[in-house]
């Protein structure tokens, strides 16, 4: 059965446009309850959300649908996505639901699911949920309706978990940090974590109003963070996205440290301590400088399709623990079941403190190939895969690949979360990868037009 609603990262779209509507969410909650009820007649589901104004509406709709199916609900309020993964497992719940569109603007929203183990739902469960959506909604008898409770101590539970992922005696005393919480789900969590570990913390993007999530702040807009780090003479900056599963760092000189850099630092440290537990999984977007550096240390490296679920699939298949994306979605499997921005940042800070080194010095000698990424927005009704299969585009890609002559690569792919085609060109420093990427993007735009 072809999935109609679930993409690479749950269900996502523009609020008010089907299926991101209140009536669909009501039915979705009921459908989830129907599937879970087959295994457990006393099923319980956790619901968390980011800070979008539409989260209130969808939280209520999902709660009503789950209750109609006889499923109990625990409401967590605004919480980072990885917090829902963690709490789903520790509460022994049957599933966790996150209402979020991650790094997208407030006009968008979406739904992600976690299993009882804190991992993304298997494909067969998502398929079963979609099958239930085709059936009429039938409410259980009044004596079997699900109950709903709020969990007031959810933030504190997650703060303590985050702190537990670094050595007990580790202290960040003496470190000056600027945090950018993207006016998102980490706004009331991250400052407490780093302050309680001893750091001097300045905060940006921690005043959500329901409309400003990711608005010129966060991991996708690091300019303000870079400026604040330099202005305040901080040791580093840390930027999360709207739901807290991604992180980007900034060193003391304002240089951006992305997911590939973070993977390199954590992998090298764990490898040198003999606790890496296998190799590293990246994606098709991972810089080949990362692959070369890891392979030079004797660390196996494998590329997965873009999307955290595919990274997790390869980690599980290989029995490895560490993987992630250049966007800053890092999976530290030795402490967490999914990508976690706060936890990933803490792993890097622990390395800095243990080695008594700055972020810049830890990255000295790690060279990445120049990489350019251009996003081309699709017109309404345009189909990404048919465009990518067009002979004219294939010729354009082949021409650029010939210019690179085996010293670079070209990747075109549809976004799994937005109506975009992403054009990436990577090559040795002597190539103008920006110009090459723009040339292919122009061909994509011409086909769309």
**Secondary element (H or E) of residue 314:** helix 308-318
Rounded Cα gap, residues 203 and 228, in angstroms: 10
Angle at 151 between CA 145 and CA 152, to 5 degrees: 145
The answer to whether the CB of 276 falls within 8 A of the CB of 270 is yes
Which of 137, 153, 180, 117 minimizes the C-alpha distance to 32? 137
Which of 419, 330, 391 minimizes the C-alpha distance to 82? 330
DSSP 3-state of 283: strand
**Secondary element (H or E) of residue 67:** helix 54-68
Strand arrangement, sheet containing 322-324:
301-304, 280-283, 322-324, 330-332
Angle at 373 between CA 367 and CA 377, to 5 degrees: 165
Angle at 244 between CA 242 and CA 247, to 5 degrees: 100
Give me the residue label for tokens 């010729």.
Answer: 395
Q: Which of 54, 67, 100, 102 is catalytic?
A: 102
Q: How many other C-beta atoms are found inside a 10 Å radius of the C-beta of residue 194?
A: 23
Which of 77, 336, 352, 103 minimizes the C-alpha distance to 240? 103
Tokens of 101: 């569109």
Residues constituting the chain = 449
Non-local (6+) Cβ contacts of 235 within 8 A are 175, 176, 177, 252, 352, 358, 359
The CB-based long-range contact list for 346-349 (8 Å cut-off, 24+ gap) reads 346/162, 346/165, 346/166, 346/193, 346/197, 347/165, 347/166, 347/266, 348/249, 348/262, 348/265, 348/266, 349/166, 349/172, 349/175, 349/199
The answer to whether the CB of 162 falls within 8 A of the CB of 247 is no
Tell me if residue 41 is catalytic: no
Catalytic residues: 102
């Amino acid at each position: 059965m072809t999935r109609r609603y679930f993409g690479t990262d749950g269900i996502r779209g523009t609020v008010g446009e089907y299926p991101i509507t209140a009536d669909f969410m009501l039915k979705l909650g009921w459908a989830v309850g129907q599937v879970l009820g087959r295994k457990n007649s006393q099923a319980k589901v956790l619901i968390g959300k980011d800070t979008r104004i539409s989260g209130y509406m969808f939280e209520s709709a999902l709660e009503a649908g789950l209750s109609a199916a006889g499923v109990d609900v625990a409401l967590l309020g605004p919480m980072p996505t990885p917090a829902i993964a963690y709490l789903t497992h520790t509460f022994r719940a049957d599933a966790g639901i996150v209402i979020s569109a991650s790094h997208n603007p407030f006009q968008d929203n979406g739904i992600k699911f976690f299993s009882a183990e804190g991992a993304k739902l298997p494909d067969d469960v998502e398929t079963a949920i979609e099958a239930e959506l085709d059936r009429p909604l039938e409410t259980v008898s009044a004596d079997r309706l699900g109950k709903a409770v709020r969990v007031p101590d959810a933030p504190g539970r997650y703060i303590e978990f985050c702190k537990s992922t670094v050595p007990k005696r580790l202290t960040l005393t003496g470190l000056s940090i600027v945090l950018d919480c993207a006016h998102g789900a980490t706004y009331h969590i991250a400052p407490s974590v780093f302050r309680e570990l001893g750091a001097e913390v300045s905060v940006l993007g921690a005043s959500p109003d329901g409309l400003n999530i990711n608005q010129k702040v966060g991991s996708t807009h690091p300019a303000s963070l870079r400026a604040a780090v330099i202005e305040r003479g901080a040791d580093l900056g840390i930027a999360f996205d709207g739901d807290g599963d991604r992180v980007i760092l900034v060193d003391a000189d304002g240089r951006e440290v992305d997911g590939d850099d973070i993977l390199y630092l954590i992998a090298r440290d764990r490898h040198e301590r003999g606790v890496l537990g296998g190799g590293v999984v990246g994606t098709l977007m991972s810089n080949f400088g990362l692959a070369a550096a890891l392979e030079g240390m004797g660390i196996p490296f494998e590329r997965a399709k873009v999307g955290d679920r595919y990274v997790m699939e390869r980690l599980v298949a290989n029995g490895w623990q560490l993987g992630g994306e250049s966007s800053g979605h890092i999976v530290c499997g030795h402490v967490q079941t999914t990508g976690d921005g706060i936890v990933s940042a803490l792993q890097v800070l622990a390395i800095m403190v243990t080695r008594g080194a700055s972020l810049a010095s830890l990255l000295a000698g790690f060279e990445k190939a120049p990489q350019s990424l251009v996003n081309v927005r699709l017109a309404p009704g345009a189909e990404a895969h048919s465009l990518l299969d067009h002979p004219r585009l294939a010729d354009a890609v082949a021409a650029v690949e010939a210019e690179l002559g085996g010293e670079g690569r070209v990747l075109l792919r549809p976004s799994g979360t937005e109506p975009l085609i992403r054009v990436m060109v990577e090559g040795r420093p002597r190539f103008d990868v920006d110009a090459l990427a723009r040339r292919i993007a122009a061909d994509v735009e011409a086909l769309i037009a």
